[in-house]
């Protein structure tokens, strides 16, 4: 438990670094956005490669294309 001095109420707790909270939340959002983009691009390219006659190379090109275009729009 956090140490408190006798003149501070215990329910206030320690000082918070709100800027660090904001930075952590922004990093979490960025990781979530790009991970979602990667997973969606992977699923679309796998479906494209498996359910059409396009093949592996075309699916790989589609995956890279979706990732690049998606990253451009998510900036």
- pLDDT number for residue 12: 67
Alpha carbon distance 5, 2 (integer Å): 10
Picking from 35, 39, 57, the residue whose alpha carbon sits closest to that of residue 48 is: 57
Alpha helices, H only, the chain:
18-51, 56-74
The full set of domain ranges for the chain reads 42-75
Alpha carbon distance 49, 8 (integer Å): 64
- Residue 20 burial (CB count, 10 A): 9
45 or 8, greater pLDDT? 45
pLDDT, one tens digit per residue, over 8-39 is 666 666 678 889 999 999 999 999 999 999 99
Contact of 63 with 42, CB cutoff 8 Å: yes
């Amino acid at each position: 438990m956090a140490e408190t001095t006798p003149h501070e109420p215990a329910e206030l707790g320690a000082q918070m670094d709100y800027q660090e909270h904001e930075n952590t939340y922004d990093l979490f959002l960025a990781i979530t956005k790009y991970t979602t983009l990667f997973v969606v691009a992977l699923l679309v390219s796998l479906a494209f490669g498996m359910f059409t006659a396009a093949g592996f190379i075309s699916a790989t090109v589609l995956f890279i294309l979706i990732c690049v275009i998606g990253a451009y729009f998510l900036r």
